[in-house]
Amino acid sequence: MPSVSQILTLSVSALTLASAALAEEVRVYNWSDYIDEQILSDFTAATGIDVVYDVFDSNEVLETKLLAGGTGYDVVVPTGTFLQRQIQAGVFQPLDKSKLSNMGNIWPEIAARTDRYDPDGTYSINYMWGTTGIGYNVGKVTEILGADAPVNSLSLVFDPANAEKLAECGIHILDAPEEMIPAALAYAGMDPTGQDQASLDKAGEVLKAVRPYIQKFHSSEYINALANGDICVAIGWSGDVLQARDRAAEADNGVEVEYSIPKEGALMWFDQMAIPADAPNPDGALKFIDYILRADVAALASNYIYYANGNLASQPLLNEDVIGDTAIYPDEATVANLYTVSPPAPKVQRTITRLWTNVKTDQ
């Protein structure tokens, strides 16, 4: 869902930056809590190009803007599945790789995985990638479910017996059907990438069984809620949960947050930088992307936001608590258990959205 708070911050940042309209500028539209602001000021210092940086917290909001056209943005960062459909709709321009001097830094393994969304990376370059797993409050979950709480399993949330006990303490799940339906299917032991009617029915059944125990469907609020100890469990994005972990540690409020990749498997997603076809400053956009491709910059970003990047050259520069953490850079055995999904056909999309509305409104 849209968060009006994003729109608010967006308008405020647009206002403060409007005064510098004379200098060359590049307008970037990225996910919330997804960059070290230092990178933006460094980029301006290095190139003399101002950055107007706006944020969103759902692919739907970005996609609607892109499909309407005339967004005014030079760089946008959709997730692979959405990107694939947007490429078909013709909203992006091919990247002029000759202007990307740091292309050599990319991680071929990640590029190979994103090829299914954007063959040969014609339109996009990976910014970050991650998994969708479980964030939990260690102390409270242990207190409620005991020391053998299934924190590395989706049954923590999708088993009504567990969910009921955790409800009082608070469960949030992502407001993103394209991620939660595969998770429900993985829990049910079915193919998480299934989009046929039987799969969707099953996913609906799993989700509806725990619906009464879910406090909120939201895609960014859980970071603070976990960090403040307001909720016990969230199904969320890896780096966001790890940011919550760090915020809690910094606040020293007695809250200990952990992230786990469920043993049933987890969704692996890729956020890709791309340039809209009608970008006002495509050259500036290429300079920005090239800057992000620098090994030291990519490392700075990952060290700050706790997401893995698609930049092989940055790996020696990563902090040990990033590169050494299997929740961020999973080992091979875990990677083998991760899955990726394809964008649904329009008719299926409607069924999925309808199912999601039914689940959320508890009908």
Partner 1 sequence: MGRRLLIFVPYFWLLALFLIPFLMVFRISLSDYDLAQPPYSPHFTGNVMEVVRALDWENYTFIFGDSLYLNSFLSSLRIAIISTLLTLAIGYPMAYAMARAPRGVQPLLVMLVILPFWTSFLIRVYAWIGILKSEGLLNLFLMSIGVISEPLSILNTNTAVYIGIVYAYLPFMILPLYATLEKMDDSLLEAAEDLGCSRMEAFWRITIPLSLPGIIAGSFLVFIPAMGEFVIPDLLGGSNTLMIGKTLWVEFFNNRDWPVAASVAMLLLAILIVPIVLFQKVQEKEAGL
For the bound state, the minimum distance from the C-beta of residue 352 to partner 1, rounded and expressed in Å, comes to 9
Residue 150 Cα distances to 166, 249, 263, 318, 351, angstroms: 12, 23, 10, 31, 32
Regarding 346 and contact with partner 1 (CB under 8 A), the answer is yes
Give the residues across from 265 on adjacent strands.
Answer: none
Regarding 15 and contact with partner 1 (CB under 8 A), the answer is no
Both tokens assigned to 219: 């895609």
Of 37, 46, 69, 97, the one binding partner 1 (CB under 8 A) is 69
Regarding 221 and contact with partner 1 (CB under 8 A), the answer is no
For the bound state, the minimum distance from the C-beta of residue 92 to partner 1, rounded and expressed in Å, comes to 10
Q: Residue 116 or residue 354: which is nearer to partner 1 going by CB?
A: 354
Angle at the Cα of 79 (from 76 to 82), degrees rounded to 5?
A: 95
Both tokens assigned to 351: 């069924």
Of 25, 60, 179, 240, the one binding partner 1 (CB under 8 A) is 60
Regarding 148 and contact with partner 1 (CB under 8 A), the answer is no
For the bound state, the minimum distance from the C-beta of residue 100 to partner 1, rounded and expressed in Å, comes to 25
Q: Residue 58 or residue 195: which is nearer to partner 1 going by CB?
A: 58
Regarding 356 and contact with partner 1 (CB under 8 A), the answer is yes
Closest of 274, 319, 328 to residue 296, by C-alpha = 319
For the bound state, the minimum distance from the C-beta of residue 181 to partner 1, rounded and expressed in Å, comes to 13
Q: Residue 130 or residue 229: which is nearer to partner 1 going by CB?
A: 229
Helices then strands, each counted (H, E), the chain: 17, 11
Dist. CA 121–CA 95, nearest whole Å:
8
Stretch that binds partner 1, among 57-65, 97-105, 134-142, 188-196 (CB under 8 A): 57-65
Binding mask 166-205 vs partner 1 (x if CB under 8 A, - otherwise)?
-----------x----------------------------
Dist. CA 236–CA 319, nearest whole Å:
23
Of 217, 222, 237, 307, the one binding partner 1 (CB under 8 A) is 217
Q: Residue 108 or residue 346: which is nearer to partner 1 going by CB?
A: 346
Give the residues across from 54 on adjacent strands.
Answer: 29
Regarding 64 and contact with partner 1 (CB under 8 A), the answer is yes
Both tokens assigned to 108: 């071929």
Q: Residue 75 or residue 359: which is nearer to partner 1 going by CB?
A: 359
Dist. CA 77–CA 234, nearest whole Å:
24
Regarding 67 and contact with partner 1 (CB under 8 A), the answer is yes
Place of tokens 């879910």: 214
For the bound state, the minimum distance from the C-beta of residue 334 to partner 1, rounded and expressed in Å, comes to 31
Contact between 200 and 352 (Cβ < 8 Å) = yes
For the bound state, the minimum distance from the C-beta of residue 195 to partner 1, rounded and expressed in Å, comes to 15
For the bound state, the minimum distance from the C-beta of residue 163 to partner 1, rounded and expressed in Å, comes to 15
Positive or negative torsion for Cα 339, 190, 78, 2: negative
Regarding 253 and contact with partner 1 (CB under 8 A), the answer is no
Regarding 46 and contact with partner 1 (CB under 8 A), the answer is no
Regarding 22 and contact with partner 1 (CB under 8 A), the answer is no
Long-range contacts of 289-292 (CB under 8 A, 24+ apart): 289/75, 289/95, 289/100, 289/125, 290/99, 290/100, 290/101, 290/102, 291/39, 291/43, 291/46, 291/47, 292/39, 292/127
Closest of 293, 259, 289 to residue 275, by C-alpha = 289
Contact between 267 and 180 (Cβ < 8 Å) = no
For the bound state, the minimum distance from the C-beta of residue 3 to partner 1, rounded and expressed in Å, comes to 9
Both tokens assigned to 11: 């308008």
Regarding 249 and contact with partner 1 (CB under 8 A), the answer is no
Regarding 360 and contact with partner 1 (CB under 8 A), the answer is yes
Regarding 361 and contact with partner 1 (CB under 8 A), the answer is yes
Interface residue list for partner 1 (CB under 8 A): 1-2, 4, 8, 58, 60-61, 63-64, 66-69, 85, 88-91, 177, 214, 216-217, 346, 349-350, 353-354, 356-358, 360-363
